[in-house]
Each structure stands twice: as structure tokens, then as C-alpha cells.
Copies of this chain bind each other. A is one copy, B any other.
Amino acid sequence: MLYLLGMFGMSIFAITGVIATRHKNLDIFSVIFLGSVTALGGGTIRDVILGSYPVYWVADLWFLWVAGFTSLVAFFIVRTLSNRYQLLLYMDALGVALFAITAAEKTLSLGFTASIAVVMGLITAIFGGILRDLLTGSPSLLLSKEMYATPVLIGLSIFVSLDKWLPGFAWAVPVCITITFIFRVAAIYYKLHYPKWLCAQ
């Protein structure tokens, strides 16, 4: 279950990586490379910081094949879509939610504390996107006006609280992924942002 959710989040990120390469004249293999790096980057940073060797996609090649294959399929499909930036935003929201909560779950299962789990969830989710934006030369979504880090932080806080106070609750992972995703989608759709005095000036 958690395995499939992690695989799903990774595929979603691969697709956002492929979408972000539009209008760049990149050929199919470069696009697959960038899609796969986007897909695998966040979790790689998590595993390397935690010293959790072997890194997950080195231990289980299925992640590599799915990342590459999803990028290949996305390469042919995204060109047929209009309004790709909107799609990128919503896909990124889903990928970030999946990455954050599954990373926190993995961190807890390795025996680290709740604080480390929240931080690793944030790093995995946000750096996946930052890496994509750096490599494709796009403006970072983290720098966009709508709430980006906040939904992830809320979802992660609920997740580690549930893990502490309701340790037997089997639905914690999907529930918190849904909360994070809906919050971020609401932020995009209703342009939720903080009042001016809580923004950098």
C-alpha cells in the first residue's frame, strides 16, 4: 500500500518534470532523464541525509523503470494538452502531498523522531520540485504567491500527531495525503495567501 503510494507520487513527479520541459527543444532521451531525476530526486536526498543505504531506487529497480516509462508516456501525451501550466500546478500538488507523507512514514519507520519526520517530509516534497525547476530553468513554485510550504507542513503535523496519539489508525497515510492535497489545491484555486505582514517585504 505505502509502496504503491510512493510509486504513484514518483510517477506524478515524473510527469511534472516532463511538463516543465515544454518549449525547450529537448529530445526524448533528455526529457526522460529530466523526468526521472525529478521523480527520484526528492527521495534520494531524503535517503542520503538519513544515511538510509541503499537508496530506495538502487535497492528496488521498479522505481527506476516506472519513472522512465511514465516519463516516456508523458512525453507523448503532454503535447496534446492545452493549459499545461495549470496541470503542472495540480499534479505538483498531488506529488508533493504523496512525497511528504510517504517520506515522513519512512522516516518514522526507520526509528527517527516526529520532528525529523516532519523535516524530512518537507525536504523530500519541496526539493523534488526545486530540483525540477533548477534543472529545467523554470521559476520555482516555492517562490509563487499562493501557499506552498504551509499545506505540506499542516499535513505532516497532522500525520505525526496521528502516529503518536492514534498509533493503530491504518488510514493515517491516505487521510493526510488527501488533506495536504486538498489544502494546496484550495490555495491554487482560491489564490490563498498570507496577509501582507506575514509575507517577505
CB within 8 Å of B: which residues of A?
Answer: 18, 21-31, 33-34, 37, 44, 48-51, 53-55, 58, 61, 64, 75, 79, 112-113, 115-116, 119, 122-123, 126, 130, 134-137, 139-140, 142-143, 145, 147-150, 153, 193-194, 198-201
The 10 closest A-B pairs by CB, nearest first: A51-B53, A27-B194, A29-B149, A26-B200, A79-B201, A28-B198, A30-B149, A21-B200, A29-B150, A33-B149
Q: Are A64 and B200 in contact (CB under 8 A)?
A: no
Chain B residue with Cβ nearest A44: B49
Q: Are A64 and B119 in contact (CB under 8 A)?
A: yes
Residues in B neighbouring A116, C-beta threshold 8 A: 58, 61
Other contacts beyond A79-B201, A135-B140: 11, CB < 8 A = A24-B200, A26-B199, A27-B149, A27-B199, A29-B149, A34-B142, A48-B48, A49-B55, A51-B54, A61-B113, A64-B115
A140 to B: closest C-beta gap in Å: 7
Neighbour of A28 across the interface among B21, B22, B199, CB < 8 A: B199
Residues in B neighbouring A194, C-beta threshold 8 A: 27-28
Tell me, in angstroms, the Cα distance from A51 to B53 when the chains sit together.
6
Residues in B neighbouring A143, C-beta threshold 8 A: 24-26, 30, 136-137
Tell me, in angstroms, the Cα distance from A51 to B64 when the chains sit together.
18
Residues in B neighbouring A49, C-beta threshold 8 A: 44, 48, 55, 58
Chain B residue with Cβ nearest A53: B51
